[in-house]
Amino acid sequence: MGRFKRDILVFGGGFVVLLVLGRFLGGYHLRVITEMAILALFAQSLNIILGYGGLISFGHAAFYGFGGYATAILLRETSLGLIPILVAATVLTTAWGLIVGAVCLRAARLYFAILTLAISQLLFVIVFQWYSFTNGDNGIHGLKVSEWMSQPYHYYGFTLGVVAAALFLIRLILSSPFGYALRSVRDNRQRVEYLGANVWTIRLVAFGIAAGFGGLAGGLYVGFDHMAYPMLVHWSKSAEPLLMIILGGVSSFWGAPAGAVLFVFMELILVKVTTHWLFILGLTIMILVLFFPKGVWGFVEARLGRRKVGGAP
């Protein structure tokens, strides 16, 4: 299977390179790269339904945060290790995603976007108010992972491994018959219906997968940060993977992870300058949407492409 070989090389190779590189980096840099990896998965999970599925979702934080809180609560209440907890969180978030999808996908296209936002806000309010379970506004702090996991380099390697495996899996799914069927639905849902497939079911499955991977990213984040807080499910959190995707270019596989890397750089630089992160986030998206619709990546590619052909427009 040529496809497997090439992808294993890319993902496996990348993992090994970063792992080795990590040996030479200090705690700060390890944390930065860990965050990049987690957000790359977060963004890619949204890209499944946004770029490949053609579904506009403004509520992806609902899955990221759900997975995060599931992880936090399991860490707090049980003595299970992080790995089984992450597995559980992913499964739970997938189930939650299927429920959300079943409701939202019934709606007409533009209403879908609104509904996803509404669900995300619903979750936020629940998290905020269900004090006894989620600790409300204060969030859940002081989460303990194992000794081994607590060390930056170990968590770095662990996260990279999990993310590489997850991205590989997503890659497989997107280049499978299902992945192409999903893209077909995006291109022309009527045609797919008249080919005998159930469009709703295809979208629902994609939604569940996207939710699961989003939840996994959220769980990894909580393991990384040792805390969960309501902003993880806030509607503005959903803006982050959106920005990453448009930074990188919608519906290309490497666009989302590339956008995540750019995003983290942006965050690092800007957080030092101002506390008005949401303002900057919003402004950046606006500028990108108005002037760089193909993403920074796409813009660069287009420019390079033109040079190759000789500069004529």
Partner 1 sequence: MTPALLLEIVIGGLTNGMLLFTVATGLTFVFGVLQIINFAHGAIYMLSAYLGYTVCQALGGTAGAYWLALATAPLAAGVIGAVIEMVLLRPMYHREHLMQLLLTYSLALVIADSTKFLWGAEPKMVALPGILAGFIQVGRATLPVYNLAVIAVGAAVMVGLWLFVNRTKLGHIIRAGAFDAGMTEALGINLRAVYTFVFALGAWLCGLAGVLIAPVTTVSQGMDATMLLDAFAVVVIGGMGSIGGAFIASIIVGLFGAFGLMWFPGLAIAFTFVIMAAILLIRPWGLFGRPLE
Partner 2 sequence: MSGEVLLELKGVRLSFGQVRAVDGVDLAVAKGDLTAIIGPNGAGKTTLFNLITGRYRPDSGRITLDGQDISGRPSHQITRRGVARSFQITNIFPSLTVAENVQVALQITDRQTYRLLADFRPLGRERVAEILDLVGLTDKAGHPAGELSHGDQRTLEIALTLALRPRLLLLDEPTSGMSSWETSLVTDLIGRISTEMDLTVLFVEHDMSVAFSAAKKVVVMHQGRVFAQGEPEAIRCNEAVRAVYLGEEE
Residues contributing to the site for partner 2 (CB under 8 A): 1, 3-4, 172-173, 175-181, 183-184, 186-188, 190-198, 202, 205, 209
Q: What residues between 153 and 192 interact with partner 1 by CB under 8 A?
A: none
Residue 129 interacting partner from partner 1, partner 2, none (CB closer than 5 to 8 Å by kind) = partner 1
**Which residues make beta-bridge pairs with 140?**
228
Task: Give 128 or 168: the residue with its C-beta nearer to partner 1.
Answer: 128
* Binder of partner 1 out of 11, 15, 42, 58 (CB under 8 A): 58
Q: Which does 179 bind (CB under 5 to 8 A by kind): partner 2, partner 1, none?
A: partner 2
Among 108, 273, 309, 312, binds partner 1 (CB under 8 A): 108
Of the candidates 233, 210, 170, the residue with the CA atom closest to the CA atom of residue 7: 170
Q: Which is nearer to partner 2, 169 or 268 (CB)?
A: 169
- 128-137 contacts at long range (C-beta below 8 A, 24 or more positions apart): 128/230, 133/73, 134/69, 134/73, 134/228, 134/230, 136/230, 137/230
30 binds partner 1 (CB under 8 A): no
Residue 87 and residue 99: Cα distance in Å, rounded? 19
Shortest reach from residue 197's CB to partner 2, in Å:
5
Amino acid identity, position 139: G
Q: Quick check: 249 and 43 in contact, CB under 8 A? A: no
**Closest distance between partner 2 and the C-beta of residue 183, in Å?**
7
The binder of partner 1 chosen from 56, 173, 181, 266 (CB under 8 A): 56
| Phi, psi (deg, nearest 5) at residue 35 | -65, -40
E-state strands within 122-281:
none
Tokens representing 297?
């990546």
> Would you call 283 helix, strand, or coil by DSSP?
helix
**109 touching partner 1, by CB under 8 A:** yes
Which residue in the set 115, 202, 206, 244 belongs to the binding site for partner 1 (CB under 8 A)? 115
Between the CA of residue 285 and those of 73, 161, 242, 258, what are the distances in Å?
33, 30, 8, 16
Q: Which of 163, 242, 261, 264 binds partner 1 (CB under 8 A)?
A: 242
Q: Compare residues 239 and 264 and give the one whose CB is closer to partner 1.
A: 239
> Nearest 5°: phi and psi at 23?
-55, -30
Size of the site for partner 1 (CB under 8 A): 40
Distance of CA 194 to the CA centre of its chain: 32
Q: Examine residue 231 and tell whether it contacts partner 1 (CB under 8 A).
A: no
Helix 255-273 to helix 239-248 angle (10° resolution) is 120
- For 92, the token pair is 């739970």
Name the site residues for partner 1 (rule: CB under 8 A).
50, 56, 58, 103, 106-111, 113-115, 117-119, 121-122, 125-126, 129, 235-236, 239, 242, 246, 250, 276-279, 281-286, 289-290, 293
